[in-house]
Amino acid sequence: MASRWSKAACVAAATASLVSVTACGGGSSEAGSASGEKVTVEFWGAAIGLDKSVALWNKSHPNVQVKYSQIPPGSSGGYSKMQNAVKAGNAPCLGQVGYDTMPTFVATGAVADVSEYANASKDQFVPWAWQMASVGEKVFGIPTDIGPMALYYRADLYKKFGITPPKTWDEFAAAAQKVHAASPTTHLAATPQDAYDMGALTWQAGGKWFGTANDQWQVTIDSAETQKVADYWQGLLDKKLAATEPPFDTSWFKGVQEGRILSLVGAVWAVPLISSNLPDLAGKWAVAPLPQWTAASSAAGNRGGSALAVLKGCKNPKEATEFAVWFNSNPESVTSLIQNTGIYPAAKSGMDLPAANQPSKYFGGQDIYQVFKAAAGNISTDWRWGPTMTQVQSDFKDELKKAAAGQGSMQQAVSTLQTNTVTTMTGQGLAVAK
């Protein structure tokens, strides 16, 4: 271990060893308001539709009002905005934080331990999602959703090209070859674009990127499983069988609209993004299980998932936590989140709601949530994210762009990311196993 520790490094080390962070010192959230006093809880979020659940709460809770502000997604500046606000002492009580970035917020001391207010609701949520919002026995937020993955596909164009939803990744490659042979400007899907794409596919392949043992971080990004995923997609890229437009960018939507991109390997939260941005394609989309590495498998990847984290300095942590629990478990709120945000609820009761058990007009009358429900039950629960995901995401995006431009390879990107991540972590004073 490093012999000299900053406060942030001390907190980060505690994250690695999953022990109490209180020994590192530092302030705690201020006490909640006096009984009966009206309270305003500020909440920053990035996902579409969160405001609708906030409005439901405010209508029925006049003494605790939530002020919601829409901010950019985390990787587009939202997380930096939250971190800077915490440092300046003017952060909101609540922030929408992805599970992948929660360890970073813990490591920098940007979140408050609300175990005393949260633990009574623990059994309402999927255990592994609860753990994603926690470190050891300390709870820093209430889980909102998970991100089971599937294959979104244009059913009309699959029929046109004479292909069916591939059940294995080998079949996926064969279908990509068939489509491209018939139309050289058409692609079955786009390549992975960032760390979260590659992480989700590695997750499905049975790999892990981070772990902890003996008070040290273990970094295994450059694993056989990640290299397997990288080699597969690089092979498609080399043969010009995969598109390179980032999903949900303007160029990607244009490619889909024009019938040049036929599928999306994506998570459940893509549902409202597709339907709201491509309304003219209603009835032409469908959803199938994610292709498998072997025909007998049913492994699922997870892309995303977030919690309502209580940020450091919150003056009303009790009320903030109570709202977060209600927001993520109340049937009316969760129904709204399913319909407007496209979440797969982390609340155990969420998938029993009517909104998650009915045909989708946009997806040709298919009950698409049944596909995601099956996938959710096949997600490995021992994946962990590391404490420097901002660096991991930035580095991987840069390296994958180089690979897409023919200036490197995905395999090289994986190896480079391993080196950069270990260097960044050790530079922050974290103990990393060799």
**Is the separation of the CB atoms in 376 and 146 below 8 Å?**
yes
Give me the mean pLDDT over the 229-252 stretch: 97
Q: Express each pLDDT in 1-23 by its tens digit.
A: 332 223 333 333 444 443 333 33
The residues pairing with 366 across neighbouring beta strands, listed in sequence order, are 360
Percent with pLDDT over 90 in the chain: 88
Would you call 100 exposed, middle or buried from its count of C-beta atoms within 10 A (0-12, 13-18, 19+)?
Answer: buried
211-214 contact pairs (CB < 8 A, 24+): 211/384, 212/16, 212/17, 212/18, 212/384, 213/433, 214/433
Higher pLDDT, 10 or 393: 393
Q: Express each pLDDT in 331-384 by its tens digit.
A: 999 999 999 999 999 999 998 999 999 999 999 999 999 999 999 999 999 999
**Is the separation of the CB atoms in 142 and 326 below 8 Å?**
no
Give me the mean pLDDT over the 151-165 stretch: 98
Instruction: Look at the pTM and tell me if it is higher than 0.85.
Output: yes
Q: Express each pLDDT in 96-127 by its tens digit.
A: 999 999 999 999 999 999 999 999 999 999 99
**Is the separation of the CB atoms in 372 and 268 below 8 Å?**
yes
How far, in Å, CA of 385 to CA of 392, rounded?
A: 10
Tokens 């892309």 sit on residue:
303
Q: Would you state the CATH architecture of domain 149-302+383-427?
A: 3-Layer(aba) Sandwich (3.40)
Model pLDDT, residue 74 = 86
**Mean of pLDDT over the chain:** 91
Give me the mean pLDDT over the 293-304 stretch: 95
Band of residue 407 on the pLDDT scale cut at 50, 70, 90: very high
How far, in Å, CA of 415 to CA of 395, rounded?
A: 11
Give me the mean pLDDT over the 255-278 stretch: 96
In the chain, % helix, strand, coil (3-state, to 5) comes to 45, 20, 35
Ranges in the chain annotated CATH 3.40.190.10? 7-147+305-356, 149-302+383-427
Residue 70: which of 102, 46, 40, 38 has the closest Cα? 46
Q: Express each pLDDT in 33-72 by its tens digit.
A: 445 689 999 999 999 999 999 999 999 999 999 999 999 9
What Cα–Cα distance (Å) separates residue 127 from each residue in 123, 134, 346? 8, 11, 9
Percent with pLDDT over 70 in the chain: 92
Characterize the bridge pairing of strands 94-98 and 39-45: parallel
The CATH homologous superfamily for domain 7-147+305-356 is Periplasmic binding protein-like II (3.40.190.10)
